Each structure stands twice: as C-alpha cells, then as structure tokens.
Amino acid sequence: MPKGLILKAISGFYYVESDGRTYACRAKGAFRNQHIKPLVGDWALFTPEGEGGRVEEILPRKNSFIRPPVANIDQFFFVVSACSPAPNLFVLDKLISIAEYKGVEPVIVLTKLDMEEADRIAAIYQKAGFPVLRVDYRSRGWRAPLERCLQGKVSAFCGNSGVGKSTLINHLGFTPEIETGEISDKLGRGRHTTRQVELYPLPFGGYLADTPGFSDVQLHRQEQILKDQLPYTFREMAPYLDGCQFTGCSHTCEKGCAVLAAGGGGGAGRAPPPPTDVRGEREAVKERCVVVGAAPLESDRVLGQIDPARDYVICADGGIDHLRRVGLTPDLLMGDLDSASSPMEGVEVVAFDPVKDDTDTHIALKRGLALGYRDFLLLGCTGGRLDHTLANLQSLYFLKRQGADGCLLDDRHRIFFLWEEEREIPREDYRYLSFFAYGGEAAGVTLQGVKYPLHEHLLTPDFPLGVSNEITGKSCKAAVKKGCLLAVLARE
C-alpha cells in the first residue's frame, strides 16, 4: 500500500502526494467511529483509484495542532509585524510555549520594518535563545537566511491576522499567489485572507504551510500544558529550574524563587513588559489593576471607581457582563467562560478548562502580578455565593503575601489586609471598622482614633474582639507588628 503526505484538506477531500503525483482521496469510513481526523501534514497509507483514492491509515504523528490544523511540523515561523497590527508579545509567548511543548522549533520573523523598527522585540527573543529573522523588502538580504531555515523541513507560518504572512509567502514565490487583505481599524487586526491550511513543496526540499490567521490561542482547545510542565516551555528558564525550592512555583512573583533571583522570572529573556493597553494603540503604563468578578452588584455605583485612563481592567469570566451594562470595555477577559454571556469584540480572551486549581479571580490576579502591578482593586467579588466570597478573600490575602496591595470593594464594604505594617485609614462615608486576625495570631495590634482603642494587643482567630469598632474622627491609625489583620470598613 503506497504512503503519501496530505498536502491540503478541502470539503472532505484529502490531497495526498506520493511519488510526484497528487491524489484527491476520501477518508476511510471507519475513521469517523474511531474519532480519527486526517490533518494536513499527516503521512498516510492510501489506496489509489485513478486520480482519487481512499486514505486507509494515518501513520504515527510526531505532533499535531488543532489551530492551525496541521501535523508533523518541524518548525513554526511566528510572523510578528512591527506595527499595524501592533505586536502582542503575550500571544506570541503562548504560541511559543505550545510549540516548545509539542517539540516544534520556534523561529521569529519580524515584518513591516519599513514602517517601524523592531529592535526591542528582536533583542528580547534573541536573548531568550530563539532564531530571529528580519524581513525588509527594501533589502535583498532578507531572503537567503529564510530559505536556509526552510530547507529540508516542514514549516508552518503563524501569527496574528494582518502581520504579513501571505505577503511574505508571495514574495518567496514558491506558492500560487495568495490573497492579502487590509487591516481593520476597529479591531486592530487583519481580515482573514488565508482560507485553509496547505503544504507547498519547496524546490530545495521541505514543505511550507500557510495557515489561517488568528489573534489568540485558546489553550483549552489545544492539548493541555500541565502547570508543572509550563516552565519547561520557557527555554531561558532551564538553567535555573532545578535550583528553585518551591513545588509548583510559577516563577513570576514568589518571594525566594531561585528563577526570579537569577533574573529569569516571567520568562527570563522574555521578562514581562510594562502593563500596556493590549488592544494596542500605544504602550501606556497604567497605575492600577482592576479585576471585575461575576458576583451580583447592588448597584453600578462601584463600577464608577474604574478609570480607563489609569486602570488596567481584567474581567474574571462573567464580570464582563457588568462592564457591558455600563458601556465600559476591559483590557482582558480570563476564566473558564461558564458564566459570561459572551465576549466583547476586540477584547483579548484567555480561556481555561473549567477543571482547574485556581478560581477565575485568582487567575486574573496572577496575570496582574505577572504584568508588574502592585495596586489592585477587586469589584464584583462579594455578595454572591458565600464560598466564592471566602475564596476571593483568600485571593486578596494571596496578593498581600506577594507584596501587593489590594482592596475588595462593594456597595457597603471596603476590605483589605494589613500585614506587619502601620496605616492611616480615612473614614470617608463608612461608619464601622472591624479587624480580624487572619492566618494565625496577630500580635502588637494598636488602634488609635477609634471608639475602642487598642495598644500592643493580641488578636486571635478564635475570638472576634476587633468587630464593630468606629472611627471617631476623619481617620484612624492601625498597626500590627506580627501577623496579618483583615480590615473591613462598613456602611450602615
């Protein structure tokens, strides 16, 4: 039975190349019951029938991908434009991690260099150990390095729509002319012009694939990367991983992490950039990270705390419906998406499998920390299920343990933690102030400017001595020398 390579798949036909001929084959009917779907790039055994035939068996794959739907890829060329659309390095890092996990060599290709330089991006990924190719059509030197990389390998071109994949392939001239499109001003990305995956034989050996563009990879639709394996998809972390003492460490914000101590955290050479507007008009550092959860709000008043000019806003799943109601647009939507009515057009989505260790709120806070934020506001995180509220309090405590400040706000309460510190607390329009020992005993607790003052007192988790105090003036002072206090300001 002859063996061939599937070059393209269209409307149930699989075009198999074998001995210099191409056969339009149907898949064997048993594949459906066996849940086998042939992919472009598969090596297959087939029965030829004239110009057609039938695919009988898919040979073992070295790797496979759902988006783009290809198999047996040797290397991915990740095409990144210097501008129009603006480069999204978080999307690029996701793609690289998937490639590394599947054993595919990532190659970074920078385009549109006639419009804007990309030296910063090149330096980041070269330092991390990746090949970086620059494509500038004004120079004759761009072609030879690219052809050397392509020789003898099965290569796929991937990246955001509109970054110039099809234009690049057209300039190479090894394929039929591929339609190219304009950039959508509204969405900041290209309109999809490549309609299917197809492998093109190269004259110097190997195959080249053009793939439909996409702006994000939904990891829950790919083979899952286990959390303990994820650091190994960042090759620049490899020298430091064995020295990290923490099991399950994310290497992004943990105190005492060996990877962070070596300067390799957050992806080492790919250290997280400053917080930016990911929809990408311009990199503008924001002052605070706001996480909006899905818990019911008594009113929309608390949403007025959001200032789009200074706040980087992450919606945790159904929290996006709160913003939709008041006409606000978040920077990012994260979670398992089991409660959000629908995403918003133009908003980046990072989706997770519902079976996971972290809550959606906790995932959002970790992303904020990885982006470099240390000031957080949590909205829509109380008032629903009690167990969810308690989980969100634990996430607020997690922020404090990471050296960040967070505040959980609803219509009646302002909640935050004090950890071995002194703070002046304004009264604003709150009447009551309560303190609870959290995570163990809180020693050396001093309260001044309140109805029931304390001096160097010990608060314990089993006795609510600090409940229902009152601020007597415009502010009060609270201090704890050892341990942690949960502070709750409450209105009538």
Domain of 365 in residue numbering reads as 288-407
| Judgement on whether residues 56 and 75 belong to the same structural domain of the protein | no
Look up the CATH number of the domain holding residue 446.
2.60.120.320
Q: Tens of pLDDT along 298-357?
A: 888 899 999 988 899 999 999 999 999 999 999 899 988 888 888 888 888 888 888 888
Q: Residue 193: what pLDDT?
A: 44
Are residue 264 and residue 321 in the same domain, yes or no? no
- pLDDT of 184 > 60? The answer is no
- Between CA 162 and CA 280 the distance in angstroms is 14
Contacts of 415 by beta carbon, 8 Å cutoff, 6+ apart: 382, 393, 396, 407, 408, 409, 486, 487, 488, 489
Position 371 scores a pLDDT of: 79
Closest CA to 78 of 102, 100, 101, 96: 96
Asked if 450 and 394 touch (Cβ cutoff 8 Å), the reply is no
- In tens, the pLDDT along 230-260 reads 888 888 887 788 888 777 677 766 667 888 7
| Nearest Cα to Cα of residue 89 among 43, 131, 125 | 125
Q: What percent of the chain has pLDDT over 70?
A: 86
Of 382 and 215, the structure prediction assigns the larger pLDDT to 382
pLDDT at 73 over 70: yes
Please indicate, yes or no, if residue 279 is contained in any of the structural domains.
no
Give the residue among 205, 210, 206 at the shortest CA–CA distance from 194.
210
Number of domains in the chain: 5
- The answer to whether residue 281 is domain-embedded is no
Asked if residue 463 has pLDDT above 60, the reply is yes
Residues 202, 325, single domain; the answer is no
In a domain, 280, yes or no: no
337 shares a domain with 403? yes
What's the whole-number mean pLDDT along residues 130-154? 91
Residue-wise pLDDT tens digits, 285-299: 578 999 999 999 988
Instruction: Give the confidence band of 85 by pLDDT, cuts at 50, 70, 90.
Output: confident
- Single out the residue in 379, 407, 435 at which a domain terminates: 407
pLDDT at 18 over 90: yes
- Alpha-carbon dihedral of residues 143, 144, 146, 150, nearest 10 degrees? 130
Task: Judge whether residue 441 has pLDDT over 60.
Answer: yes
Q: Determine the pLDDT at residue 391.
A: 95
Same domain, yes or no: 421 and 478: yes
Q: Is 31 left (phi over 0), alpha (psi -120 to 50) or beta?
A: alpha
Q: Look at residue 84 and tell me if it is in a domain.
A: yes
The whole-number pLDDT of residue 298 equals 86
pLDDT(384) > 50: yes
Given 60, 76, 92, the domain boundary residue is 60
Residue 22 and residue 75 share a domain: no
pTM: 0.54
pLDDT tens for 21-71 read 999 999 999 998 898 999 999 999 999 999 999 999 999 999 988 777 889
298 in the same domain as 386: yes
Kindly state whether residues 297 and 396 are assigned to the same domain.
yes
278 in a structural domain:
no
- How does residue 270 score in pLDDT terms, banded at 50, 70 and 90? low
Tokens of 22: 């191409």
Compare 200 and 57 and report the one with higher pLDDT.
57
Residues 116 and 168 in one domain: yes
Residue 277 lies in a domain: no
The residues with which 69 forms a beta bridge, in sequence order, are: none
- Establish if 183 belongs to a structural domain: yes
Which residue, of 192, 219, 246, is where some domain finishes? 219
Q: Please report which confidence band the pLDDT of residue 212 belongs to, taking 50, 70 and 90 as the band edges.
A: low
Q: How confident is the model at residue 194 (pLDDT cuts 50, 70, 90)?
A: very low
Q: What is the pLDDT of residues 100-134, one digit of tens each?
A: 988 999 999 999 988 888 898 999 899 888 999 99
Lowest-pLDDT range, 112-116, 210-214, 450-454? 210-214
Please give the helix or strand (H or E) that residue 348 lies within, else none. strand 348-351
The answer on pLDDT for 219 being more than 50 is no
One domain, residues 142 and 211? yes
Mean pLDDT over the full length of the chain: 84
Does the residue 276 lie in any domain? no
pLDDT tens-digit map of 387-397: 999 999 999 99
Same domain, 87 and 121: yes
Same domain (yes/no): 336, 383 = yes
